[in-house]
Amino acid sequence: MGVVTGLAAIDWAVLGATIAAIVGYGAWRTSGVRDADSYVRGEALRWPTIGLGIMATQASAITFLSLPGQAYADGLRFVQFYFGLPLATILICAVFVPVYHRLRVRTAYEYLEHRFDLRVRLLGALLFLIGRGLAAGITIYAPSIILSQILGWPLHTTIWGIGTLVVLYVLLGGSRAVSVTQRQQMIVIMIGLAIAAAIVIARLPDQVSLGGAVRIAGALGRINPVSFHLDFNSRYNFWAGITGGFFLQLSYFGTDQSQVQRYLSGRSVAEMRLGLLFNGIFKVPMQFLILFIGVMVFVFFLFTRPPMHFDAPTLARVEAARPAEVHALEARFDRAFEAQRSAAIAYLTARGRPDEPAVRAQLAASAAEIDRVRGDTKQLIQATLPDAQTRDTDYVFLTFVLQHIPHGLVGLLLAVILCAAMSSVAGELVALGSTTVVDFYLRLRQALGRPPGSRTRDLRASQLAMVAWGVIVLGIASAASLFANLIEAVNILGSLFYGTILGLFVVALFLRRITATPVLFGAIVAELLVVTLFFTSTLGYLWFNVIGCATVVVVASLLHAVLPARPPVSSPGPASG
Amino acid sequence: MTALPPEVPDEPPPFWGRWGRIYLLVAGLLAVETLVFWWLTRWAS
């Protein structure tokens, strides 16, 4: 098996053919879209397409780049973050889906007008557009910077190359194109993951069985998928996952148009529910598999010398400036690696012997020395290049793919990463465009008393909105280097808006007597409070979801109690064009 | 695929009945996964 450090012709061929086939298939299958309604709704889909689309929208490229690296450094415990997802899915299937289906809404925010009034609908849609628009820019920037660094592609070419492809097929086929291509993309992703898992296990040394690899990983703290220890300072434990994760996933799958649009395109309530439940059942095992691959890569690098720092381009810049110090660290790393490898082999053969605890302690000590060398390397990077990122876990999986996987499969796994980037950005883009057209353009035309536009005109408006959002998102991606930590930036941006939006829907669905004005003021107060807390406090950003939602509910309930009861203001019904 | 329950749009959310059993199955799978993960954590530590 050849060890490669770059892309061969066959990799380019596999990568290009996979992407071209998916985009071409999507364009072909959706070439008949002729009106705005089917463009934004993409209706009549079966549950497998819906389920795979939901998965593909959530699984961005950074998932496949970051999660294995996260497991390499921190083990499997991140999987607990998803424990709230199946429960949130059940609530959405039981409560949200029948309501959306009965009202035949095209966006989640259309429901807010049915339940309250136009003002609340526009506020919900606006909060979504701001939060999702910013986050979509980072969704495309994050994998682009890693791919460009590792593969030597120019950053802006990578961003605009991925973005232009996505805009192209979204422009041609709208929501249906996204659903159709996401199904193919998810199939490529699943095949790629299975191959990656098989290869990393096959490439372990002969004396290391799968069980042995798990035991070594366990001895070094990487097999930790569940902790029932209640610790509010720990982000990932069972209780945080089942409560905080529940709220986060409820908001994301129940009120974020990029997800709601995926199941609104179902041909019946049953198809919508089955699509959602498909994701609810398979999401946790899939995330576990991705993390497990990362743990196996960790075990692989116990026996095959890994880079001292996985972000090779940054380390090369430091080496050019301070060669002697880098070489001294490399020599220390070589010695620590040899000691760790010997200790790992000794641990494998010590099972059940009286000296097993001592051998295990020796293994832990040698791993600690590796960590110290890596820590010193990061300090040297920080001292030499103060603006450089020292976090290198996002580069772990790509380094393994490029250096230890045969040609051809490298192209396939890069296709997996690009598919993930394209599928999530496409889902976000079509949701941004749909919300702009349905909740603002068409609805405000109706509110202003303008006659309904022709089918062609509305379709053109939808396509224009998609392209406009494509340009905005790519512009944000081009400027995204202003954010220090990309993953955190995506989560923070989401948390700034998700709580308030979820609060609107919680009041709408569960507090049936509260009317529009109290909930509108509740949402404004909640958003102001969350933004104020973001700028003035050190509170963990995940709490913003809970605070935003709770504030809407409490303020709306209080205002409802003190404000005089008023008959609902009659307004023209939602746009139907 | 087994036959699915008919949709009755204006009825309250169907937490029970046939869909309720499917929801219980999904929640049960999560419980089983959690137990397997817990066992794995203990076995490997």
pLDDT in tens, A239-251: 888 887 888 889 8
Contact A225 B41 (CB under 8 A): yes
Is pLDDT at A576 greater than 50 in this prediction? no
Quote the ipTM score.
Answer: 0.82
pLDDT of residue A572: 44
Judging contacts by C-beta atoms under 8 Å, the chain B residues touching residue A89 are: 26
Q: Does residue A218 belong to the interface with chain B, where contact is any CB pair within 8 Å? A: yes
End-to-end CA distance of chain A: 59
Nearest to A217 among B5, B37, B44 (CB): B44
3-state secondary structure labels for all residues of A279-305: HHHHHHHHHHHHHHHHHHHHHHHHHCC
pLDDT of residue A118: 93
pLDDT of residue A274: 95
Instruction: Give the span between the Cα atoms of A392 and A176, in whole angstroms.
Output: 37
- The average pLDDT across A468-482 equals 83
Query: Which amino acid is it at A216?
Result: I
Q: Which of B37, B38, B39 to mutate to test the interface with A (most CBs of A within 10 A)?
A: B37
Contact A86 B14 (CB under 8 A): no
Distance from CA of A351 to the nearest CA of B (A): 12
**Mean of all residue pLDDT scores within chain A:** 86
Residue-level length of chain A = 577
Instruction: Give the span between the Cα atoms of A521 and A433, in whole angstroms.
Output: 27
User: Which residue would you say has higher pLDDT here, A402 or A528?
Assistant: A528
Q: Using DSSP, state whether A524 is helix, strand or coil.
A: helix
Q: Does residue A241 belong to the interface with chain B, where contact is any CB pair within 8 Å? A: no
Judging contacts by C-beta atoms under 8 Å, the chain A residues touching residue B32 are: none
- The average pLDDT across A1-28 equals 76
Token pair recorded at residue A338:
């040899």
Q: Does residue A86 belong to the interface with chain B, where contact is any CB pair within 8 Å? A: yes
Distance from CA of B38 to the nearest CA of A (A): 5
Instruction: Give the span between the Cα atoms of A139 and A490, in whole angstroms.
Output: 7
Contact A226 B34 (CB under 8 A): yes
- The average pLDDT across A92-98 equals 92
Judging contacts by C-beta atoms under 8 Å, the chain B residues touching residue A87 are: 27, 30
The predicted-structure confidence for A310-358, as pLDDT tens digits, reads as follows 988 899 999 999 999 999 999 999 999 999 999 999 998 888 888 888 9
Give the residue numbers in B contacting A (CB under 8 Å), as ranges: 4-5, 7, 9-10, 13-15, 19, 22-23, 26-27, 29-30, 33-34, 37-38, 40-41, 43-45
Global confidence as pTM: 0.86
- The average pLDDT across A108-137 equals 92
Contact A217 B13 (CB under 8 A): no
End-to-end CA distance of chain B: 41
Contact A414, A402 (CB under 8 A): no
Contact A163, A474 (CB under 8 A): yes
Judging contacts by C-beta atoms under 8 Å, the chain B residues touching residue A102 are: 9-10
Token pair recorded at residue A14:
């596999």
Token pair recorded at residue A530:
């969350």
Please tell me the least confidently modeled range out of A267-271, A390-394, A400-404, B16-20: B16-20
Q: Does residue A157 belong to the interface with chain B, where contact is any CB pair within 8 Å? A: no
Is pLDDT at A461 greater than 70 in this prediction? yes
Angle at alpha carbon of residue A469, lines to A465 and A473, rounded to 5° = 175
HSE-CB for A100 with a 13 A CA cutoff = 29
Residue-level length of chain B = 45
Judging contacts by C-beta atoms under 8 Å, the chain A residues touching residue B38 are: 226, 228
